[in-house]
């Protein structure tokens, strides 16, 4: 039985009102909050760091799915663990020591995820699949919300799902970028079960939009 999870991306929220934004998320039935950490170097945009995550933790008991788009994320494992992150998902392109970095995340007591950019082949993460709780296949180039879903990424999701099957593993497959009530169906069909959505959800009718994603998953 596949467990489908919806992960609203706080990147599209009102940054001056994280507490009320978290409340709005908690009033729905979503499983995760997706928290995008950007350093202005790995990606052109800058968001915030572990300090802000620690403050968010004071206002929410939700599962914090932290997506790090920073150079050498292994430098901040302890900080994010202490801030209350539940999972740290790091880019294979962001460190020459992906295996060690994932080990470090697990040793700090968090779940570990690995991410690939649209231009990165699945083979790049094949040798760390045994270590991870989640593989994130980016469906846009990271850095900004509101970009168009890249449908060609679906064959990569299929490939990750096939490798998981062949190796007898059980990690989740997440997609991030351009997810709405239509594209979520393509991602589900390809084998994804965790769906990040930012600009689609953070509108006045947040609750109804979560319900629309849920409904699309039931189709
Ligand atoms: C982009 C981020 C995403 C972003 C998705 O680099 O990783 O999590 O918030 O935004 P949408 O859903 O608007 O494409
Ligand atoms: Zn993200």
Ligand 1: which of 42, 145, 149, 201 to mutate, judged by most atoms within 8 Å of the beta carbon?
145
Q: Tens digits of per-residue pLDDT, 4-63?
A: 999 999 999 999 999 999 999 999 999 999 999 999 999 999 999 999 999 999 999 999
Cα(67) to centroid(ligand 2), Å: 5
Neighbours of ion ligand 2 (CB under 5 A): 36, 67, 176
Average pLDDT for 127-149: 98
- What is the per-residue DSSP string for 37-100? EEBSSSSS-B---HHHHHHHHTT--SEEEEEEESSSGGGGHHHHHHHT-SEEEEEGGG-S-HHH
Q: What's the DSSP call for residue 189?
A: H
* 36 classed as catalytic: yes
The string over 57-84, giving b where at least 16 C-beta atoms fall within 10 Å of a residue's C-beta and e elsewhere, is beebebbbbbbbbbebbbebbeebbebb
pTM attached to this predicted model = 0.98
pLDDT for 8: 98
Rounded distance between C-alpha atoms, residue 189 and residue 192, angstroms: 7
Whole-Å CA distances, 16 to 56, 127, 218: 12, 41, 35
Average pLDDT over residues 142-156: 98
φ and ψ at residue 176, rounded to 5 degrees: -150, 120
Please state the separation of Cα 2 from the chain's center in Å. 18
Active site residue 180: no
């Amino acid at each position: 039985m596949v467990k489908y999870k919806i992960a609203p991306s706080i990147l599209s929220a009102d940054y001056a009102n994280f507490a009320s934004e978290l409340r709005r998320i908690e009033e729905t039935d979503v499983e995760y909050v997706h928290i995008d950490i950007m350093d202005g170097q790995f990606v052109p945009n800058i968001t915030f760091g572990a300090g802000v995550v620690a403050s968010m933790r004071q206002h929410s008991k939700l599962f914090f799915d932290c997506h790090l788009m920073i150079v050498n994320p292994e430098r901040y494992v302890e900080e994010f663990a202490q801030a209350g992150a539940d999972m740290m998902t790091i880019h294979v392109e962001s460190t020459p020591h992906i295996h060690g970095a994932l080990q470090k995340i697990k040793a700090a007591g968090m779940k570990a995820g690995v991410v690939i950019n649209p231009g990165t082949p699945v083979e790049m993460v094949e040798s760390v699949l045994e270590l991870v709780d989640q593989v994130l296949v980016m469906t846009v180039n990271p850095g900004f919300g509101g970009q168009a879903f890249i449908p060609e990424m679906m064959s990569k999701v299929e490939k990750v799902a096939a490798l998981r099957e062949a190796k007898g593993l059980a990690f989740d497959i997440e997609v991030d970028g351009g997810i709405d009530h239509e594209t979520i169906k393509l991602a589900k069909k390809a084998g994804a079960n965790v769906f990040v959505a930012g600009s689609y959800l953070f509108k006045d009718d947040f609750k109804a939009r979560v319900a629309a994603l849920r409904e699309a998953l039931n189709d």
